[in-house]
């Protein structure tokens, strides 16, 4: 169903990485609906084309929305992505959201080193490069405010007995890095916040869980609400963090998890 624009991000140029799927697509849609000009970035061009078509279908009134192929683990790609918004007037918001959880990620014994490196190259270095080039852009365009939102995870906050060690370590790094960036750049007006989603109903996790009922149950039993989260519930939080409504919110581990990380025992 088509929705009318609301304008909470009017006048802002935003970049979303991992924009072709899950949280990134839902956020791109909400950003466009709220009046932002949006650059949707992803490693997959065919998926980006589909995502753009969906956005235009649900937000027919969207302003400027474009796509760009970008592998966030390659600094040259990230630099080109951010600099491509120079002609738009410079980046105001970047959502460094692209991330992977590899099927071969395991525990301390069984995680292959190449999976560790791949995961960290995308999940950690990708966020660093996005943050770095956002700061350079904000300075280049002499902006006195900017919002950078980096996707971490609840596994950066609580230990999981179902191991994905490389992924967990990478999300801990996102949290720590974002916190430091928030403090270093606070006097420039550049805000950095982490988003910590709970397990979600998106391809990243659902494809990985597949039809394995015990593997699913192993997670569901810990959800106070009894369900996986939805990407749109993350996107709503990202709009807040991107907008000036959150002007005094900086350096937070912004947790959107239905109460999961605060539960001792879950309701029956
Ligand atoms: P998703 O798999 O649905 O979407 C991720 C997107 O990132 C895909 O479109 C993919 O093509 C893209 N991508 C992958 N590698 C890339 C690269 N090198 N450069 C650019 N783009 C790349 O995943 P999602 O569930 O929407 O996850 C988004 C973020 O949220 C990730 O950082 C993920 O770790 C995090 N997260 C997800 C969950 C969950 O349960 N799904 C929970 C906590 C955190």
Token pair, residue 61, equals 């009134």
- Give me the helices (H) in the chain, please: 22-33, 45-58, 75-83, 113-120, 126-140, 165-184, 203-209, 213-220, 231-242
Catalytic residue among 31, 128, 129, 167: 167
Tens of pLDDT, residue by residue, the chain (268 residues):
555 556 999 999 999 999 999 999 999 999 999 999 999 999 999 999 999 999 999 999 999 999 999 999 999 999 999 999 999 999 999 999 999 999 999 999 999 999 999 999 999 999 999 999 999 999 999 999 999 999 999 999 999 998 999 999 999 999 999 999 999 999 999 999 999 999 999 887 888 888 888 888 888 899 999 999 999 999 999 999 999 999 999 999 999 999 999 999 989 7
Quick check: 38 and 89 in contact, CB under 8 A?
A: no
Task: For the chain, give the longest Cα–Cα distance.
Answer: 55
Token pair, residue 89, equals 């007037």
Distance between Cα 99 and ligand 1 center (Å): 4
ipTM over 0.85: yes
Token pair, residue 170, equals 């990478």
Pocket test residue of 15, 16, 17, 18 for ligand 1, highest count of atoms within 8 A of CB: 18
């Amino acid at each position: 169903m088509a929705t009318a624009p609301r304008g909470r991000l009017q006048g802002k140029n935003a970049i979303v990485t991992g924009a072709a799927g899950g949280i990134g697509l839902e956020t791109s849609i909400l950003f466009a609906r709220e009046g932002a000009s949006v650059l949707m970035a992803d490693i997959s061009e065919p998926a980006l084309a589909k995502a753009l078509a969906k956005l235009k279908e649900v937000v027919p009134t969207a302003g400027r929305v474009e796509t760009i192929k970008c592998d966030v683990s390659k600094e040259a790609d990230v630099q080109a992505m951010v600099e491509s918004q120079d002609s738009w007037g410079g980046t105001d918001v970047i959502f460094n959201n692209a991330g992977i959880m590899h099927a071969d990620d395991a525990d301390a014994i069984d995680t292959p080193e190449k999976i560790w490196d791949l995961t960290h190259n995308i999940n950690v270095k990708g966020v660093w490069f996005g943050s770095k080039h956002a700061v350079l852009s904000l300075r280049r365009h002499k902006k006195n405010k900017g919002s950078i939102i980096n996707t971490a995870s609840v596994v950066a906050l609580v230990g999981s007995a179902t191991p994905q060690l490389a992924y967990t370590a990478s999300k801990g790094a996102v949290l720590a890095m974002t916190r430091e960036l928030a403090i270093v750049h606070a006097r420039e007006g550049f805000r950095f916040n982490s988003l910590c989603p709970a397990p979600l109903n998106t391809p990243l996790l659902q494809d990985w869980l597949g039809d394995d009922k015990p593997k699913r149950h192993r997670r569901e039993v810990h959800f106070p609400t009894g369900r996986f989260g939805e990407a749109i519930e993350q996107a709503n939080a990202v709009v807040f963090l991107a907008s000036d409504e959150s002007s005094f919110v900086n350096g937070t581990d912004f947790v959107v998890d239905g109460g999961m990380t605060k539960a001792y025992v879950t309701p029956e």
